[in-house]
């Protein structure tokens, strides 16, 4: 498939797309690298909820951590879509 479209064959991965928040996260990360904090603000969602969705998407191989930044006393990972 040379057109860049990836067909999802795994039913467990396909289930991830049933959630609207995860679809929004993937859409944002397809165009921009963002942290969980950035995503929570953009989607007006609770930070811990976004972290949960990121974990599921990362485990499925749909997003990846691209870099980290030190913000105050915390390490903040940034993500982008690989799908």
Higher pLDDT, 33 or 8: 33
Alpha-carbon gap, residue 63 to 22, rounded angstroms: 11
Mean per-residue pLDDT of the chain: 88
Instruction: Report the candidate in 57, 64, 56 with the shortest Cα–Cα distance to residue 80.
Output: 64
What is the mean predicted confidence (pLDDT) over 59-64?
94
Kindly tell me the sign of the dihedral angle through the C-alpha atoms of 78, 34, 51, 24: negative
pLDDT value of position 36: 97
Instruction: Report the candidate in 41, 5, 7, 4 with the shortest Cα–Cα distance to residue 24.
Output: 41
Please say whether the beta carbons of 29 and 50 come within 8 A.
no
**What is the number of alpha carbons within 13 Å of residue 30 lying toward its C-beta?**
10
- pLDDT (tens digit per residue) in 16-52: 888 999 999 999 999 999 999 999 999 999 999 999 9
């Amino acid at each position: 498939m040379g057109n860049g479209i990836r067909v999802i064959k795994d039913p467990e991965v396909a289930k991830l797309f049933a959630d609207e928040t995860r679809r929004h996260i993937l859409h944002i990360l397809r165009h921009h690298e963002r942290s969980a904090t950035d995503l929570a603000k953009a989607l007006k969602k609770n930070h811990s909820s976004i972290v949960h969705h990121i974990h599921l998407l990362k485990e499925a191989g749909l997003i990846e951590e691209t870099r980290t930044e030190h913000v105050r006393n915390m390490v903040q990972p940034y993500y982008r879509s690989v799908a």
